[in-house]
Amino acid sequence: MYNTFLIKYGEIGIKGDNRHLFEDALAKRIRTVLAHIGGEFTVRKTRGRIYVSCAGDWNYEETVTQLGHVFGVVGICPVMIYERRDPEQLKRDMLDYVSKEHPGCRSTFKVKARRVDKTFPLTSMETAAALGEVILQNFPEMKVDVHEPELLFDVEIREEVYIYSKIIPGPGGMPIGTAGRAMLLLSGGIDSPVAGWMTAKRGVTLDAVYFHAPPYTSERAKQKVVDLAAQLAKYTGPIRLHVVNFTDIQLHIYDECPHEELTIIMRRYMMRIAEHFAREEGDLGLITGESIGQVASQTMQSLYVTDAAASMPVYRPLIGFDKNDIVEISRKIGTYETSILPYEDCCTIFVARHPVTKPILPVIERSEAKLKDSIEGLLKTAIETAELLIAK
């Protein structure tokens, strides 16, 4: 029935002089996601609108799904296009549209018309009135409601006539690549993929780092993280995932430091290594899935001490979220089912029974001082032996 989508984009429409940069980025991203599926697609930008025309061997559901992965897209509207002739023909087309798209409809409605091509004989207002009338005559169970209609028929008169009434919600946000890059500390849990998604939604390109501790953590635990990165990549494009072997560093901390400080010290070393790769990638910050008070290592005191190990800004988009809110987003973005697979994380193997909940920076630094001699070499090895995977 359809072969065209109108793409609604909200916020990027108001970016002043930079507007075309955002629109170009959006159109480019749309082209990229559609290149992965069958069909021939043409993405056109015209006067503040983006249209996607579909031809060849394309599939409606698949196309909508792909468009739903593009940040910046607020709504996806399937549009019926009719040849533009005279008002009488337009009325027939309107009836054709209503009977195909909303058969047996009893809703309240409103017609909104826009005459872009001024050679059409009726003004926008006149067109809306004439189409409203013809709908009422032919669909006696429908009623006009101009204030809160259940159905809004948008009619645009251009070189052709465009009619649509459905808006499938997109993710919103800003097109990927319009806001620099950042390094996501990606574990296999529920939170960090959501934190990455939320940051990427604002246009930030993601790189990622994962710390594993073989043989204490399994290959399956690593694969889970690769899978999570691949799920995120549907929204962001390919993600460069650095996989760091953290075992020797963890064992060394375990041998030398008070056990209740293990987690916090380990987290500080994670920050340092993440920052190394972040600099290499040209990232402007680190991203974690922490939220205040969720666990001992996420108290305000712990976050303070963790932060002190990094010199880059650390972004924590989930800071004020409850677990339920995070779970809801992870379901929506498709990472939840993978995140709950029961594989061990390196943070949970060496964990103390009673970790400090209010660490004090100088105390932690004193414990770390005991590691000094040997840890530099271990850090260097961890960095040199890290594996780079491209998740897509």
Please check whether residue 207 is in contact with residue 182, taking contact to mean a CB–CB distance below 8 angstroms. Answer: yes
Shortest Å, Cβ 239 to ligand ATP:
13
Burial status of residue 373 (CB atoms within 10 A of its CB: 0-12, 13-18, 19 or more): exposed
Q: Which does 185 bind (CB under 5 to 8 A by kind): Mg ion, ligand ATP, none?
A: ligand ATP
CA angle 58, 60, 61 (to 5 degrees): 120
Cis peptide before 238 (omega within 30 of 0): no
Alpha-carbon gap, residue 246 to 382, rounded angstroms: 7
Q: Cβ closer to Mg ion: 187 or 367?
A: 187
Q: Which does 297 bind (CB under 5 to 8 A by kind): ligand ATP, Mg ion, none?
A: ligand ATP
Q: Cβ closer to ligand ATP: 58 or 216?
A: 216
Q: Cβ closer to ligand ATP: 75 or 289?
A: 289
Q: Which residue is nearest to Mg ion (CB)?
A: 189
Q: Which does 310 bind (CB under 5 to 8 A by kind): ligand ATP, Mg ion, none?
A: none
Query: Residue 174's Cα: distance from chain center in Å?
Result: 9
Shortest Å, Cβ 69 to ligand ATP:
21
Cis peptide before 362 (omega within 30 of 0): no
Q: Cβ closer to ligand ATP: 38 or 214?
A: 214
Please check whether residue 343 is in contact with residue 225, taking contact to mean a CB–CB distance below 8 angstroms. Answer: no
Shortest Å, Cβ 193 to ligand ATP:
7
Shortest Å, Cβ 117 to Mg ion:
57
Please check whether residue 185 is in contact with residue 157, taking contact to mean a CB–CB distance below 8 angstroms. Answer: no
Site for Mg ion in 286-345 (CB under 5 A): 345
Residue tagged 């105390």 (tokens): 363
> Binder to Mg ion among 72, 189, 203, 359 (CB under 5 A)?
189
Residue 300 structure tokens:
């305000």
Query: Residue 279's Cα: distance from chain center in Å?
Result: 23
CA angle 170, 173, 179 (to 5 degrees): 140
End-to-end CA distance of the chain: 32
- Phi, psi (deg, nearest 5) at residue 74: -95, -40
Shortest Å, Cβ 211 to ligand ATP:
4
Q: Which does 94 bind (CB under 5 to 8 A by kind): ligand ATP, Mg ion, none?
A: none
Strands 49-55 and 4-8, by their bridges, are antiparallel
> Binder to Mg ion among 4, 187, 298, 299 (CB under 5 A)?
187
Shortest Å, Cβ 375 to ligand ATP:
18
Q: Which does 149 bind (CB under 5 to 8 A by kind): Mg ion, ligand ATP, none?
A: none
Alpha-carbon gap, residue 350 to 153, rounded angstroms: 60
Q: Which does 230 bind (CB under 5 to 8 A by kind): ligand ATP, Mg ion, none?
A: none
In the structure, how many helices (H) and strands (E) does the chain have? 14, 15
Shortest Å, Cβ 10 to ligand ATP:
29
Q: Which does 302 bind (CB under 5 to 8 A by kind): Mg ion, ligand ATP, none?
A: none
Q: Which does 196 bind (CB under 5 to 8 A by kind): Mg ion, ligand ATP, none?
A: none
Q: Which residue is nearest to ligand ATP (CB)?
A: 189
At 339, the amino acid letter reads: S
Binding site residues, ligand ATP, CB under 6 A = 185-187, 189-192, 209-211, 288-290, 294-295, 297-298, 345-347
Q: Cβ closer to ligand ATP: 33 or 270?
A: 270
CA angle 321, 322, 327 (to 5 degrees): 95
Shortest Å, Cβ 316 to ligand ATP:
8
Stretch that binds Mg ion, among 144-152, 168-176, 180-188, 296-304 (CB under 5 A): 180-188
Shortest Å, Cβ 388 to ligand ATP:
15
Alpha-carbon gap, residue 3 to 76, rounded angstroms: 13
Q: Cβ closer to ligand ATP: 23 or 275?
A: 275
Please check whether residue 287 is in contact with residue 183, taking contact to mean a CB–CB distance below 8 angstroms. Answer: yes
**Which residues contact Mg ion (rule: CB under 5 A)?**
187, 189, 345
